[in-house]
Copies of this chain bind each other. A is one copy, B any other.
Amino acid sequence: MRPFLSHPFDDDKLKEECGIFGVIGVADAANFVALGLHALQHRGQEAGGIVSYDPVEGFNNAKRFGYVRDNFTKADVMATLPGSLAIGHVRYSTAGTKGATAIRDVQPFFGEFAIGGCAIAHNGNLTNAAQLRKELIGRGAIFQSSSDSECIIHLMARSMQKTLSERIKDALRAVEGAFSVVAMTRTKLIGVRDPLGVRPLVLGKIGDGYALSSETCALDIIGAEFVREIAPGEMVVIENGTVTSSHPFAPAKGRFCIFEHVYFSRPDSILGGRSVYETRRQIGVELAREAPVEADLVCPVPDSGTPAAIGFAAESGIPFGMGIIRNQYMGRTFIEPTEQIRNMGVRLKLNVNRALIKGKRVILVDDSVVRGTTSRKIKDMILDAGAAEVHFRIASPPTAWPCFYGVDTPERAKLLAATMSEEEMRDWIGVDSLKFVSLDGLYRAVGEAQGRDPKAPQYCDACFSGQYPVAPSDQIAQGFEMKAAE
């Protein structure tokens, strides 16, 4: 039933928990949503769902575990999703949910209200969901999922507003945290970003219709034209070919997630007017300036380290080469693996290009270090292949704090950088040198020429700085200790 039972090898990356996509005004809208979700698969690989609306067939939905391409490409599935309006969602399911019930947690969620039906899909995380949930249950709400996003539906059900879009505003004003939302009624496609705009959401135009997407790469796949980003705190309602914008929240300065640039988003997406690929390449340039080292080869840890490695090589003049080869047939996961397979770890996914590495001083460029376990294994592989020296260069600052805004992070104690200095990390991983790009270097790479503004940081960088733009109240209630003010 559930194709993804274990993740033995990917525990060393932060994981975006969701991608969202919606389209209105095109025939067979669900097919476009499926394509869009396929392009957003990197934001959530475990399950996907699509809701469509057709005047005759009403609202329909399909939810499946597994890749979009394995489910939402099938004619029999897509035939159940007619209509010219549809939204969808891909998700990475968090550890706590149990097998048998988890399909219920797959979005979009749907509510049949007295004033009509509404489906909603959400990227982000509500930091007061536990409190809201408790309160809603006390008032008679029956929750069907373990997902915090279901709160939004119940808040809408209790709103006294006469239109669904007003009810969405009511509901979202009650929640805290980070959220980008796509929703649909029988006639409207709706998009909203939280006041800080932590998670991305973009608007595209396709024929006479419109699309909303987490990233621009998903507009490309359906041949939609990129119109603009939805602004932090903005709501757009698209109906009959018209886009209406409103601003339901108190005004605030945006704090977009800087880790979207570092790792989450696809390199061919454009965020905040900048190419992600170019930003990553530029991080490599910054790294080469901040942490140069004499070596024979700049080698990316594939595939996410590649743009920064290209930048590092170009800036340093050291040749770029593919010293580590990725097995293209390696899915993320195995079903019921044997013990032996479980123990193979990273070797199933990566192999060293021994002839290239042998005898060389190698600079390995990776995007981030989370637990550090994979870094250690890669170092072992490189040394086994006969490298003379191994230098790690990391295209992000040390990840020392958990994210509460829609990213799956280990508890703080398991983050290598939360418990070790850079030197201790270097020794633990066992390399000749280890350097992270500075927070200012990262800000420069995303285009802030003056680096980070410590008074009013331009981005959410809580995972690096420990400065949370929205106090995570549920987590604090459960004992999480915020960083002491400096």
Q: Residues on A close to B: CB < 8 A?
A: 28, 31, 34-35, 38-39, 41-42, 45, 60-63, 67-70, 73-76, 78, 80, 98-101, 111-114, 134, 137-144, 153-154, 157-158, 217, 220-221, 223, 266-268, 270, 274-275, 277-278, 281, 303, 306-307, 310, 314, 319-322, 325, 327-331, 334-338, 340-341, 344, 347-348, 351-356
Asked if residues B100 and A325 are in contact (CB atoms below 8 Å), the reply is no
Asked if residues B278 and A356 are in contact (CB atoms below 8 Å), the reply is yes
Which 4 A-B pairs rank lowest in CB-CB distance, beginning with the nearest? A275-B355, A41-B329, A140-B157, A268-B325
Min CB distance, A108 to chain B, in Å? 13
Asked whether A100 and B60 contact (CB < 8 A) given A140-B158, A143-B112, A355-B277, the answer is yes
Asked if residues B329 and A67 are in contact (CB atoms below 8 Å), the reply is yes
Q: Please list 29 pairs of residues, one from A and one from B, whose beta carbons are closer than 8 Å in the complex, sorted by A's number.
A: A28-B340, A31-B341, A34-B341, A35-B344, A42-B328, A42-B329, A60-B100, A63-B100, A69-B331, A69-B334, A73-B336, A73-B338, A73-B341, A74-B337, A80-B98, A111-B142, A112-B142, A113-B137, A142-B142, A144-B144, A266-B325, A266-B351, A268-B352, A270-B354, A275-B353, A275-B355, A277-B321, A307-B322, A310-B321
Min CB distance, A104 to chain B, in Å? 8
Chain B residues within 8 Å of A34, by CB: 341
Chain B residues within 8 Å of A348, by CB: 35, 38, 69, 221
Min CB distance, A259 to chain B, in Å? 19
Asked if residues A351 and B45 are in contact (CB atoms below 8 Å), the reply is no
Asked if residues B154 and A140 are in contact (CB atoms below 8 Å), the reply is yes
A310–B143 alpha-carbon span in the complex (Å): 53
Q: Which residue of B lies closest to A154 (CB)?
A: B142
A6–B134 alpha-carbon span in the complex (Å): 43
A337–B73 alpha-carbon span in the complex (Å): 5
Min CB distance, A407 to chain B, in Å? 19
Asked if residues B76 and A336 are in contact (CB atoms below 8 Å), the reply is yes
A76–B113 alpha-carbon span in the complex (Å): 38
Asked if residues B336 and A75 are in contact (CB atoms below 8 Å), the reply is yes
* Known interface pairs A68-B329, A73-B336; 13 further A-B residue pairs with C-beta atoms within 8 A, sorted by A's residue number: A61-B100, A69-B329, A69-B334, A69-B348, A73-B335, A80-B98, A140-B158, A144-B144, A220-B351, A221-B344, A267-B322, A270-B355, A275-B353
Chain B residues within 8 Å of A100, by CB: 60-63, 80
